[in-house]
Structure 1
Amino acid sequence: MFYNLIKRNSKSGRKENSLYFVSLVISVVAFYVILSIENQDVMKFIKSMESDAVQKLLLLIPIFYVFSLFVLSFLVFFTTRYQLERRSHELGLYLMMGMKRSRLFFMLIAEDMVNTAVAFLAGFPIAILLTEIISLTVSRIIGLGILEHRFTVAWTAVLWTVIGIVLIKIVIMSILSGITVNKEPYVLMKNTDEGEKKRTKRQVSLFFLFIGLIFLGIAYSLGLREGLWEQMRSLLWTVLFGITGTYFLFKGFYFLFQKALKKKTKGLRTFTLRQLQESIFLKSGFLASCSLLLLLAFSCLSFGVSAAFSQKPERFIDFTFVGEEGEVKEKLERAGVMDKFKNFYQMEISLMPTFEGEHTFSNKEMIAALEKLPISDVRNNIINNLEYSDSPYMVRLSSYNQLLESVGKEPLHLEKNEVVLYEDPELRDEESIGILEEALKTGVRLQIDGQDYLMKEKVMSYDVVTDNKITLMDGLIVEDSVFDALHQEGNTECYWNAVLDSKIIEKEGLIKSFTDINKELTKTGIDYESYMENMGRYLFYMVSETYLAVYMGVIFLIIGNTAIGTQFLMYQRKTGKRYQALFALGADFAKASKSGRAQVCWYFFLPVAVAVVSSVFGIWAMTNGLLASYYEQQQSSMIVMSFVVVILIVVVEWVYIRAVMKNSDRNIHALLERKRDE
């Protein structure tokens, strides 16, 4: 019978506190996904190319795991305390009926472990399925292919998830249950009212509101500054002003409720405002902390999701080889890969020799044209770079045209006195290229050996070689005869670019095609780089930033929302006599329920609203300071995507609010039934 009682109480507890149970299941899923990251196909693939970086990432996982358990312990503490307070009358009856304290303690622990086990049974299948879907989706996107996928269960991740959650549950449940069962039965059975009230003056509250807004304004302005993450002092001041401003702002909300109470009200509006004023003021620090947690959740989720939807590197060149033409072709034919290339062409690049006075170069007209444009940091950086660019790289026109033709682009047509500006896509973003093209529209000319060369209005930015063989900040695409006249043998570099046959990729998949060719090329000893190395770096950034940011965002979102909901329900239970007084005065369940729901909405709205406003500046600061260099060109689109994610998270907030509303209705209905019994 005792074990049946445990089973029945556990089931009732899951039903009564479904919000917490669902949050626990989501936590199980989040822990498993992040702990099993090493077993996913995409991480195994990245490890083959970026092993050192992946190893450093995997060393960070235990740190995130421990920190997540620490944060999760607060959620378990608040929720467990609420559950015990909600059942205090029931637990007092058990003791009155003769149940031993030790037996009651064991019963509470057993009930919690049963619910935890159910959460594991529900969470792990979802986690494993979600991990497989993520792995298959990423594999499909990058071309790894479904045939390369192997179903795996990360038993180590299962073990550490169970150990971590069970450990904090047992410790917290033991402490709180021990305190509860040691109370006298009459203490547990009495219907306690709200605790000690705090008083504040209207002027003091207005001062807090004013100071809070000023501090947040300072934090927002600091967060928008360039180079914030490079200056630790500025970053610390931003965080300090942001946290302090949030706490002061919530203490200042008391003044706003005072103003609202002076207006004429109908129905239970005054009761609702009084409840909110007292609950928010008494727990202003708690709600400010939850708002900061939600700020972190919004910022992390937005940053992580936008990184996941970023554009991967475009394929213009698949392989770049270094060496003499005859030697390179001989090694490729010996390896049996030459016939797999659709295009194979030379990319000839030379540094204009101006250091020894053999040639002269001047770009003063270009600098003058840029100086006439509106002042901005980007424009100034371009001018500074051009002022030191007195010996630019030159790219042979015929070589670059072969690159354009291999990707289906129209070739360039230049006269002897015309040049095209080349900018490396990793070093110049869309804004920089736009500024350069705006200056070129004025008809800019360069001077080489005293002769004018007209610069075409279009800036070219397709990579001349694969990956990091060479990086050109500012280069000039020149006609072949001009290249022959200006280049010097010692300053000229010849590369051989190759593009795979699309039929092979369609048949075998992108990753397998590259992997097979790489195996053959490593046997030849040829010096080369491939698109996969650039792709591997991109995937590492995407996986590491996406997984960690989304993981932390989910943890913060769960804890912040569940803590707010639990705290409200605890306060509502403590003030239960007030609702009973309303019923005695003639209020019905519909009106009391409407008042309770309004309180829930405002109780969530204030911390969520402050978090949403702060997240606008937080997202901007994160994308400015934490983006890997590859993502910098996509910063604008990622910011837009981040704000879309924030809107979607607000929809999730409504789901939490609805769940707390249902619990509020249940509490009010129980108070109504108790009043009728009395």
Structure 2
Amino acid sequence: MYFKLMIRNIKRSFGDYSVYLLTLFFAVAVFYIFNAIPYNQGIQSSSKEIRETLPIFINALSIFISIILGFLIIYANSFMMKRRSKELGTYMLLGMSTHRISVMLFFEMLLLGIVSLVSGILAGLFLSQGISFIIARIFKQELETIKFSFSIASVIKTVFFFLLIFIVVAAFFSYKVARIRIVDLIQIDKKSEKIRFAKTWVSITLFIISVILLVTAYITALSKDFRFNDVTKVIPVFILGSTGTYLFYFSASGFLLTILTSTKKLYYKKLNIFSLRQVANRIMTSTILISTISIMLLVTVCAFAGGFGLNDFAINKLKRAAPNDFEFTAGINTDIVPIGNYIKSEGYDKASISEADVYPSGVSLSNTVTKQALKEASKKNKNAYHNLLNLKLVLVKLTDYNNLRKQKGLDEISLDKGAIVLHVIESELKPFVQEFIDFNKTMRIAGCKRKIDGVYDENLVAHYLEFAVINDEELAETTPINKVVSVNINSKYEETFSEKVTNEIKKYKKGSLIVRFEVLQKLYGMSALAIFAGLYIGITFLIMSSAILALKQLTDAAQHRQRYKTLKDIGVDDEMIHGSIFIQMAIYFFAPILLTISNSAVALIAITNYIQIAGNFSIIKMVLFTIIVFTVFYGLYFNACKQGFSRIIFY
């Protein structure tokens, strides 16, 4: 009998469960997708370090996400309990024990959970194939090698976590049902929150204060010296922005209502007098909720931006950190021919090797920039100031320099007698050096005043932040300090071959060794962690925000159903009521986005400014991606909420 009753209840209340089921469906799908990443073919073919690190990272993030989803499911179940309060009260009046009710609710939740698990895992299975393309893009793998993958381990993990969540949630509600009184269940829809509007002058004052706080946070975040790795700057901006957001929404309802009521034509048109009052009431009673969701949506945007931004950062960093497959410094008399012979013996005949003798100049890097540039560098990066002040500028012969350029497919350069050119590795250093050249035109090296013909910043070698190129004959009497050797395989190779060449080079190297494959894997690994963390956290927060907004709307519909019944009783047609519902939902549902747009715009500009220190960062693709994701999730929840709202009011 109880089983039949449970099935009947689910069928009858299926429309009410739409938002709840949609949330569970998305949660399961997202959970499976990201927990399947460590088992993806692209990850398995990456370096050992990534294969070992990524699962630990995903597992830790999944525990955090599970806790968030657990609270979301509890909130969703709270709505369902309010929606079915009279039904449960009737069961108790008919003599059904709270234990029986708890068992019935538990199996209803379990059945819905199983439906969500199965459908969510199936959806996650197909959607996870899209992650394969992201992984291939991150690790620069061939798309033709991507195969359909299915992870049993991810399925088991997903089932385990969600069953655990359902058991905890069921236990919580069993305890709650056991303590509730029949009268509370019967009269729960008659209880409503007290609405207290602040006086107009208070609302206006708080609104002005909120604007001042937000503008101050914006100016600070957009200042030149703002850095995301500087906690002393980030925390004040976050506090100012959050406080401004909460005050803005606290004052908005009363302030907005004052403005709208003064516009008589709009206020008294159709059901606007009713709709605007309803919206103002809801915003006033949900100030903390709306403000929190606005901040959560900001976190979502920043998570997406940070993920894609760090990916671009990694790509730009790679170009400078490891421009060659292998690069090392060696003694001046080191014979590098055996290294080339070894590489060719392994079957890589296209490999090329270049060496450049390195000479002392007698000056430091600080001699190639202006004092003003030193001050600017110290503001942006203390380490940069330290490098400019202490590192020595080295010299490279023109012939060796042109060999390095030819290896990269670049044109050779020529120099007038007594002239030099400067070459910088860090692209952000080039403007400071160019400023020095424009101002001075010449500089003294090795006791001679030399004309500076220009500055280059191609990615040739990584060992020297900056060096000067000089004609060969002018170094005839100077003894080199060492040589820098660059090796490029010019074809694809695996981790095993990289390790073999590394071991061979270690027999000859004098100083540090830069292995492109190792740097590549570390940066790609960092990029993967950033993107996956951004997507995982961002999508979860977006699901949570959308679900909470929808459930709050449906809860209000259940509580204010009598108001709409009164409208029908006085002759208002259904079309006008539907229009009023749509206006209320649209304003309430998109209210958190109002500040999210401006806050996100400032955050994105600040993120772009920070990441562009390391190279170019395209904000357009990230904005488009965010808009698409927001539209999909918000659209689905808005539609589900609209249908649920109408069902509660009209049926």
TM-score range, shorter chain: 0.7 to 0.9
Does the 8 A contact of 1:395 with 1:475 survive in 2?
yes
Matched, 1:320 2:330: no
- Could you tell me which residue of structure 2 aligns to residue 117 of structure 1? 114
Superposed CA offset, 1:228-248 (max 9, x none): 445434433333222222222
Aligned in 2, Cα 1:464/1:334: closer, same or farther, shift over 3 Å?
closer
Residue type of the alignment partner of 2:219: S
Distance 1:361 1:546 in 2: 39
Structure 1 residue 227, shift from structure 2 partner: 5.0
Matched-pair contact (CA < 8 Å) for 2:364–2:388: no
For residue 674 of structure 1, what is the aligned residue in structure 2?
none
Mapped to 2, the partners of 1:608 and 1:438 lie a distance apart of 44
Q: CA deviation at 1:288?
A: 1.2
Q: Does 1:412 align with 2:420?
A: no
1:17–1:399 distance in 2 versus 1, CA, 3 Å: farther
* 1:473 shift after superposition: 2.2
* 1:270 maps to which of 268, 273, 293: 273
Equivalent residue number for residue 238 of structure 2: 239
Point out the more displaced range, 518-527 or 443-452.
518-527
Q: Does 1:17 align with 2:17?
A: yes
Among 348, 356, 359, the residue aligned to 1:340: 348
Distance 1:60 1:555, change over 3 A: same
Contact 1:335 1:524 (8 Å CA) reproduced: no
What does the per-residue CA deviation read over 1:446-488, in whole Å, with 9 as the maximum and x for residues that have no partner? 22244332222342331325xxxx2x22211222223444x42
Is there any run of 5+ residues in structure 2 with no aligned partner, and where? none
Q: How many Å apart are 1:126 and its aligned residue? A: 3.0
SS at 1:637 equivalent: coil
The 5 Å alignment of 1:517-666 reads 518-519=499-500, 522=503, 526=507, 527=509, 529-622=514-607, 632-634=613-615, 637-652=617-632, 653-666=634-647
SS of 1:392's partner is: strand
Shift of 1:32: 2.8
Q: Sort the Cα spacing of 1:123 and 1:523 in 2 relative to 1 into closer, same or farther, 3 A.
A: farther
Structure-2 separation of matches of 1:215 and 1:275: 28
Deviations 1:242-262 (A, max 9, x none): 222222211101222232123
Q: CA deviation at 1:586?
A: 0.9
Tell me how far 1:530 sits from its aligned partner: 3.1
Q: Partners of 2:347 and 2:180 in 1: how far apart?
A: 84
Identity of aligned residues (%): 21
More deviation, 165-174/515-524: 515-524
Change (3 A) 1:198 1:380: closer
1:65 counterpart = 2:62: yes
Kindly provide the CA deviation profile for residues 178-237 of structure 1, in whole angstroms up to 9, marking residues without a partner as x.
Answer: 544765666545582351313232233223322222222333333335354454344333
Q: CA deviation at 1:162?
A: 2.7
Say if 1:363 and 1:666 are closer, same or farther in 2 by CA, change over 3 A: closer
Q: Is the 8 A contact 1:302 1:645 kept in 2?
A: no
Q: Is the 8 A contact 1:612 1:646 kept in 2?
A: no
Q: CA deviation at 1:422?
A: 0.9
Provide Cα deviations, 1:54-96, integer angstroms capped at 9, x if missing partner. Answer: 64x6544444333222322332122111122222333344445
Structure 1 residues 191 and 576 mapped into 2: Cα distance closer, same or farther (>3 Å)? farther
Give the TM-score normalised by structure 1: 0.82
* Partner amino acid, structure 2, of 1:412: I
Cα 1:82–1:302 change in 2 (3 A) is same
In structure 2, what is the Cα distance between the partners aligned to 1:89 and 1:277? 28
Q: What is aligned with 1:453?
A: 450
More divergent stretch after superposition (59-68 vs 581-590): 59-68
Go from structure 1 to structure 2 and tell me whether the alpha carbon gap of 1:453 and 1:112 turns closer, same or farther (over 3 Å shift).
Answer: same
Question: Gapped runs of 5+ residues in structure 1?
Answer: 355-359, 671-678
Partner of 1:329: 337
Moved more, 214-223 or 271-280: 214-223
Number of corresponding residues:
634
Q: Is the 8 A contact 2:359 2:394 kept in 1?
A: yes
Whether contact under 8 Å (1:305, 1:642) holds in the other structure is yes
1:159 corresponds to 2:162: no
| RMSD after superposition | 3.6
- Pick closer, same or farther for the CA change 1:375–1:492 going to 2, 3 Å: closer
Sort the Cα spacing of 1:610 and 1:336 in 2 relative to 1 into closer, same or farther, 3 A: same
Q: Which of the numbers 173, 177, 186 marks the counterpart of 1:176?
A: 173
Structure 2 counterpart of 1:675: none
Aligned equivalents of 2:390 and 2:406: distance in 1? 29
**Equivalence map 1:422-433=2 (5 Å):** 422-424=423-425, 427-429=426-428, 432-433=429-430
Q: Given the alignment, which residue of 479, 484, 502 partners 1:488?
A: 479
Instruction: Provide the TM-score with structure 2 as the length reference.
Output: 0.86
Maintained 8 Å contact 1:80/1:173: no
> Is contact 1:28-1:120 (8 Å) kept?
yes
Partners of 2:365 and 2:389 within 8 A in 1: no
